[in-house]
Structure 1
Amino acid sequence: MKKIKIYSQPTCPDCNRVKAYLDKKGVSYEDINVRKDKKAMDEMVKRYGIRVTPVVVIGDRVMVGFNVPKIDKFLGAQD
């Protein structure tokens, strides 16, 4: 199973949609609350160059926002 990280904020609607979608599919992930964890926010910006949430990292693929076809594609893709 691919490692999945979600950089999120509690009040972000798309963050909650991504997590709900993965929960529905029974897919486990690491939820990283960038509002509580300043180091995680810095990592997200430095590593991925992204300043908005959600940032979804599936294996070595990165996406921003909630996009079901892209999530499914990344989950099915081989690293």
Structure 2
Amino acid sequence: MQKVEIYTGPMCNYCSAAKHLLSKKKVDYTEFNIATDPSKMQEMQERTKGARTIPQIFIGETYVGGYNELKALEIAGKLNSLLEI
């Protein structure tokens, strides 16, 4: 299974939806809350080439994007293979 990292923040419905989708698939993930650790905001922007919205999701070395991109992978039947599950 690929390592999953997700940058999140408080009161973020898309963050909750992304975490719910991953949890439903029994996928462990590392969550970085940019509100409680501001250094993670800069890290996120560097890794994503400037993204300012959350969530931002990485699966392995692949930058997925936000919740809409994650959900699109699920609908297209490509998420499981990317996760290697």
TM range (shorter): 0.7 to 0.9
CA RMSD across the alignment: 2.0
TM-score by length of 1: 0.85
> What is residue 27 of structure 2 aligned with on the other side?
27
Kindly, what percent of the aligned residue pairs are identical?
Answer: 33
Please give the secondary structure, in 2, of the residue aligned with 1:14: helix
Tell me how far 1:60 sits from its aligned partner.
1.4
Name structure 1 gaps, 5 residues minimum.
none
The answer to whether the 8 A contact 2:5-2:30 is kept is: yes
Please give the secondary structure, in 2, of the residue aligned with 1:77: helix
In the TM superposition, structure 1's runs of 4+ consecutive aligned residues that sit over 6 Å from their partners are none
TM-score by length of 2: 0.79
> What is residue 8 of structure 1 aligned with on the other side?
8
Please give the secondary structure, in 2, of the residue aligned with 1:70: helix
CA deviation map 1:20-42 (0-9, x unaligned): 11111111000110111111111
Tell me how far 1:7 sits from its aligned partner.
0.2
Alpha-carbon distance in 2 for matches of 1:6, 1:78: 14
Tell me how far 1:6 sits from its aligned partner.
0.4
Name structure 2 gaps, 5 residues minimum.
none
Between the two proteins, the alignment pairs up a number of residues equal to 79
